[in-house]
Amino acid sequence: MGRVVAFTGPSNSGKTTIIEKLAKILIEQNRKVVIIKHDPKDKAVFDVEGKDSYKFSQTGADVFVLSPTRTTYFSKKPSSIDRVIEISKPFDYLLIEGLKTLPIPRIGIFRNSIEMDYIEYISAIATDIEDIERYQIPEEIEILNLNSPLDILKWIDKNSKEV
């Protein structure tokens, strides 16, 4: 069984930074961590033109690149979150960036201001906003300190979904 939690927020809010910090802490604790990043605009680039893996992936085939220290998987077709979870098992923590409507515990990441249209999707807010009380945050949404990864990790251990 592993713990699954997602992170949502506007661009440049710090989602990648906090996921990176959490992953480093967990890996130092000898936990297996898997990270999924949603690319809704299909603009991420994973391979370099001219390399064999790029040429293979251009055929439309699924491509695995195996090396002594990692395995990389390229697919030209969409996949479900359930399929990715199955491929990734076993893990201790699965940290998801994005996939806003996926029904799992989710931390909204905000700097400077809170975009209220995210509220319906989140279970907690991690922020560095000092005057958070100016926002009408529902009582059931816990407020976390964005600059305290250990506090965020405690919340994850208590509230994440086990799969």
- SS3 sequence, 99-163? CCCCCCCEEEEECCCCCHHHHHHCCEEEECCCCHHHCCCCCCCEEEECCCHHHHHHHHHHHCEEC
Residue 49: what pLDDT? 79
Which pair of tokens denotes residue 123?
């279970």
Domains of the chain, earliest start first? 3-44+78-162 (3.40.50.300)
Backbone angles phi, psi at 143, to 5 degrees: -100, 125
Residue 54: what pLDDT? 76
How many whole angstroms separate alpha carbon 126 and alpha carbon 110? 6
Residue 83: what pLDDT? 84
Mean pLDDT by 10 residues, the chain (163 residues): 94 93 96 83 66 76 79 77 85 89 92 92 95 92 96 97 88
The amino acid occupying position 132 is: I
Are 27 and 33 contacting, i.e. CB atoms less than 8 angstroms apart? yes
DSSP state of 91: -
Closest CA to 91 of 15, 9, 160: 160
DSSP state of 58: H
Measuring CA to CA, how many Å separate 2 from each of 6, 161, 162? 13, 8, 5
Residue 46: what pLDDT? 63
Residue 81: what pLDDT? 81
Task: Give the end-to-end CA distance of the chain in Å, rounded to a whole number.
Answer: 5
Residue 42: what pLDDT? 62
Which residue in this structure is represented by tokens 């390399």?
51
